[in-house]
Amino acid sequence: MKELSLIIPCYNESSPLRDTFFQLQKVLSSETIKKKYSSKMIFVNDGSTDNTLEIIQEIANENSNVKFISFSRNFGKEAAMLAGLKYSNGDITIIIDADLQHPPHLILDMIKYYEEGYDQVIAKRSRRGENIARKWTTRFYYQIINKLIDVELVDGIGDFRLLSRDAVDSLLAMPEYNRFSKGLFSWIGFKKKIIDYENQERVSGESKWGFSSLLNYAIDGMTSFNSKPLRLLIYLGVIITILNLIYIGYTFFNILAFGIDTPGYFTLISSILLLGGIQLISIGILGEYVGRIFYEVKQRPYYIIKDTNIKSESIQLREKNER
């Protein structure tokens, strides 16, 4: 019998959580799955401040196939997914949100494709029901980011996916501290299948993504995959220097031919402002990379586990093997 693990990252999800559990349990106990797979759910409580942990513990007490890992504080969804991946030792791992925006019945389709030989089965959502601003920012985001990074990111594809053992092992083999999963999933390759679903509105609780977190995510996406932004800066610098030289030459000959007329306040101030801006951006981008190096060299753990019902020996053993 093969093993199937669901990873469910949870941050302040007390309102939809029970419902999520019931729906997932229903799918897992369907005949198609029960026949061939022994399954478990791994809830990762990412430092929730509401009673998410209590609810998870109650569910775990009543259901032996429910495991949980609880962090000492909020470490972010990336860390929560990583923890789940580490402790999902099955043949198939599926990552799914706790807010029911990822329809659980798709799990059945995912498994069907897995059995056909796909290593990653990815759910792609339509953007129905999202407001214009959000649609527009995401579209812009993907256009920019796909120009900047080497791996391809597709709009509507998130973390809702099935991963084979090989895919999970490859993800775990990448020890970087700044994890940009969308990029990592794409980077590891393997045989992929995309299945579509209609976008679901959140039934309860609220999204943890504001505008500023989306912006930060965009910067993470760009800078954690390669150094193209640095290369761009060099090009920008070269272009600006050439333009400057042309302008200086032009002014110089003008002065030789006609003498100095009104001091060019406009050109002076505009060039200072322009260059000032470019320099600030450049320093910012450099700083971004230096900051990343800083985090990587410190080799801090990705998260701290405060509470879990997964056997402690197996956790310690695994953690020792890491890093």
Please choose which of Mg ion, ligand UDP, none residue 114 contacts, taking the beta carbon within 5 to 8 angstroms, the exact cut-off set by kind. none
Contact 207, 134 (CB under 8 A): no
CA distance 28 to 90: 14
Contact 105, 30 (CB under 8 A): no
**Closer of 67 and 125 to Mg ion (Cβ):** 125
Query: How many chain residues bind Mg ion (CB under 5 A)?
Result: 2
Q: What would the two tokens of residue 198 be?
A: 């209609």
Nearby residues of 266 by Cβ (< 8 Å), 6 or more positions away: none
Please choose which of Mg ion, ligand UDP, none residue 209 contacts, taking the beta carbon within 5 to 8 angstroms, the exact cut-off set by kind. ligand UDP
Task: Tell me if 46 contacts Mg ion by CB under 5 A.
Answer: no
Task: Tell me if 99 contacts Mg ion by CB under 5 A.
Answer: yes
Give the shortest CB-44-to-ligand UDP separation in angstroms. 7
**Closer of 75 and 225 to ligand UDP (Cβ):** 75
Q: What would the two tokens of residue 36 be?
A: 């061939």
Task: Tell me if 119 contacts Mg ion by CB under 5 A.
Answer: no
Q: Where do contacts with ligand UDP occur on this chain (CB under 6 A)? A: 9-11, 13, 46, 74, 76-77, 80, 97-99, 101, 207-209
Report the chain's terminal Cα–Cα distance, integer Å: 32
**Closer of 46 and 119 to ligand UDP (Cβ):** 46
Please choose which of ligand UDP, Mg ion, none residue 121 contacts, taking the beta carbon within 5 to 8 angstroms, the exact cut-off set by kind. none
CA distance 77 to 209: 11
What does the DSSP 8-state code read for residue 159? E
Q: What would the two tokens of residue 109 be?
A: 């389709």
Widest Cα–Cα separation across the chain: 92
**One residue of 52, 101, 223, 308 binding Mg ion per CB under 5 A:** 101
Binding region for Mg ion (CB under 5 A): 99, 101
